[in-house]
Amino acid sequence: MTTPAPARLHLRAPALTGRGWLNTGGEALDLASLRGRVVVLDFWTFCCVNCLHVLDELRPLEEKYASSLVILGVHSPKFEHEADPDALAAAVERYAVHHPVLDDPELTTWQAYAARAWPTLVVIDPEGYIVASMSGEGHAHGLDVLVGELLEEHRAKGTLRVGDSPYVPPPPAASALRFPGKLAALSDGSVLVTDTAHHEVVHLERDLVTERARWGGAATFNEPQGLLVLPPDVAARTGVDVLVADAVGHRVRGISLATGEVVTVAGTGRQLRERSGGGAALAQDLSTPWDLAWWDGRVVIAMAGTHQLWWLELGDTPDDGRVGVLAGTSAEGIRDGAGEQAWFAQPSGLAVSADGETLWVADSETSALRAVRRADGASDTADAGVTVETAVGTGLFDFGHRDGAADQALLQHPLGVTVLPDGSVAVSDTYNGAVRRYDPATREVSTLATDLAEPSDALVDTTGGGAPALIVVESAAHTLTRIPLPEKATRVDGAAHRTQRPATEIAPGAVTLEVTFVPPTGQKLDDRWGDPTQLTVSATPEALLREGAGKERGLTRRLVLDPAVGDGVLHVSVQAAACDGDPETGEVPEHAACHLYQQDWGLPVVLTPGATDVLALHLRGA
């Protein structure tokens, strides 16, 4: 059913090596200076929505154990842009990281700790030994229990030391907007923009500077992103003019422009932890909604946190709303086809073609532009479903700035997509600092603008009376910029890149996949109705995996890798359900609270004769 819990190993934690430290006032940290305290290493990269979830999970622990727990971020980048020290410093501010962060651009510390996934958490005891490793998110409760146990153990041994945090906040920065996210145009030519780091929505005049109104604050929004101006008839019916994707608040909220009232139309404020088919909008948990679009009489939500697209039907009142899944299984990657079988990876931008036939999606983690259309030529999506196609992009690990034929072109973590007057699509190619153009007629990609500071969204501005322009959100420059649409786009033939994470050498032929999962103290696997664990395995290319693909119960699987196919990527998704046990008997009561642990890995593998034939992954291991 699960890999037995190993005895605690006496493994000394490796040194922390990188380019430098952030949030320490310029001081370098080492584990020796932190001896006597529990240390949690958080291996993250700032493109990763699951890593951002973990940052939120760690905040209560930082506060609860302030004098005896030290959390250290280890930023090991996936994309080339994330290795830029200025971009990392901006991300640390953007996401309110209030602990020291090691800049690990060469993945030196990542490799020393054998990390295989973003995010990964490693727990080090007060004597400097590794005691646990955990992949993915959702480990807050288990961490809390483990830290409490370690403090009790080392207090009794006399090896616990308390002290001040090594965190030193950087000097405060101020600007009218702080890391703006998305924008929308109103009929009078004014503009709405999400002022993400200020947790507000701002109404700007046409000059893009003068403010007409602000709504929100930390008590109302939590890092808002996408905006949607509702059709007039829907606004009149619902009393809501604008919808807001409240990303970290895990809600969709509505604003009445006349009264300034803000209401919730979907979401509970809790992050969605289990796969769901939807239901009543106000009773349904959501996970990091990043953008919104109006398509086929419904709202479409880019649900970045679960790698899916959802739909939202608005009733006359918020209580009448319904939500459900439009496309995506929640597996992370590129897979085209029927919506219920498709894969996305952090969909972050949405736009609808002028004829209403196509929903364009900026799929950020695969550096891809995707197209969603009605299935089977149906007149709507409600009953017939949708199909998904990839216009630009190849997978989780390939990126760059290269124009030309769409099947050869490369993007780098795009966050926004905009339909242009000629029917082509502008892509806010965020980590390339560019706005790119995809022409569906010729299937060619070109470049409209460069040297932008993390562009995250754009809209077409035709209010000036002249040639159309683009209003671009330069998120890292904290501003909106109006740029002319060039008559002729340029062509960039830049280098192709692959994520620099080292591939795993593994033997060709038969391989044993083992996933370690040790429930936290007080929980046990709930086997009352059968095995509560499940593995889903696939490969890119598909032919790499000769045997072992598919979904089955259990945490071990025999795989057969075809050496004739060569190297590729193994996609492994795991789920494990553990429930709170009775403190006296350890048995699971009938109405016990249960917890779902899950993680997706995309593992580059190199088939090497003589290499190990065991692939060991840790969902939660001692």
Q: Are 342 and 402 in contact (CB under 8 A)?
A: no
The answer on pLDDT for 589 being more than 90 is: no
DSSP state of 415: -
- DSSP string for residues in 512-527: EEEEEE-PPTTEEE--
Count of beta carbons in the 10 Å neighbourhood of residue 543? 12
Q: What are the extents of the domains in the chain?
A: 1-173, 183-498, 503-622
Q: Which pLDDT does position 334 carry in this prediction?
A: 93
Looking at the domain covering 1-173, what would its CATH class be?
A: alpha beta
Indicate whether 420 pLDDT > 60. yes
Q: Tell me what the mean pLDDT of segment 297-324 comes to.
A: 95
Give the confidence band of 1 by pLDDT, cuts at 50, 70, 90.
very low
Give the H/E segment covering residue 50: helix 49-64
Would you state the pLDDT for residue 583?
A: 62
Per CATH, is 183-498 categorized as 3.40.50.720? no
Interatomic CA distance for residues 321 and 175, integer angstroms: 37
d(CA 300, CA 203): 23
Selected residue with higher pLDDT from 389 and 604: 389
Average pLDDT over residues 389-407: 95
C-alpha–C-alpha distance, residues 410 and 493, integer Å: 10
Give the tokens for residue 249. 């608040």
Q: Has residue 622 got a pLDDT over 70?
A: no
Q: Please give the pLDDT value at position 500.
A: 67
Q: What is the pLDDT of residues 542-563, one digit of tens each?
A: 999 999 999 999 999 999 999 9
Residue 283 has pLDDT above 90, yes or no: yes
Of all helices (H) and strands (E), which one includes residue 494?
Answer: strand 493-498
Residue 373 has pLDDT above 90, yes or no: yes
Residue 147 · residue 79 · CB < 8 Å: no
Instruction: Quote the pLDDT of residue 275.
Output: 79
∠ CA 346-299-469, nearest 5°, is: 75
Classify strands 614-621 and 545-547 as parallel, antiparallel or unpaired.
Answer: unpaired
Contacts (Cβ under 8 Å, ≥6 apart) of 351: 293, 359, 360, 417, 418, 419, 425
Average pLDDT on 483-511 reads 84
Give the pLDDT score at 123.
Answer: 97
Over the chain, what is the mean pLDDT? Answer: 92
d(CA 424, CA 441): 8
Q: Over 60: is that where the pLDDT of 9 sits?
A: no
> pTM of the entire structure?
0.92
Q: Which residues contact 550 (CB under 8 A, 6 or more apart)?
A: 536, 537, 538
> Which residues make Cβ contacts (< 8 Å) with residue 300, sequence separation at least 6?
292, 293, 294, 309, 310, 311, 312, 326, 350, 359
Which residue spans within 364-424 are E strands per DSSP?
368-374, 386-392, 398-402, 404-405, 416-419
pLDDT tens per residue across span 153-163 = 999 999 999 99
Q: What is the dihedral of CA 227, 229, 231, 233, to 10 degrees?
A: 110
The counts of H helices and E strands in the chain are 6, 45
Does the pLDDT at position 4 exceed 60?
no
Nearest Cα neighbor of 288 from 223, 344, 336, 361 is: 223
The residue assigned the tokens 């124009």 is 403
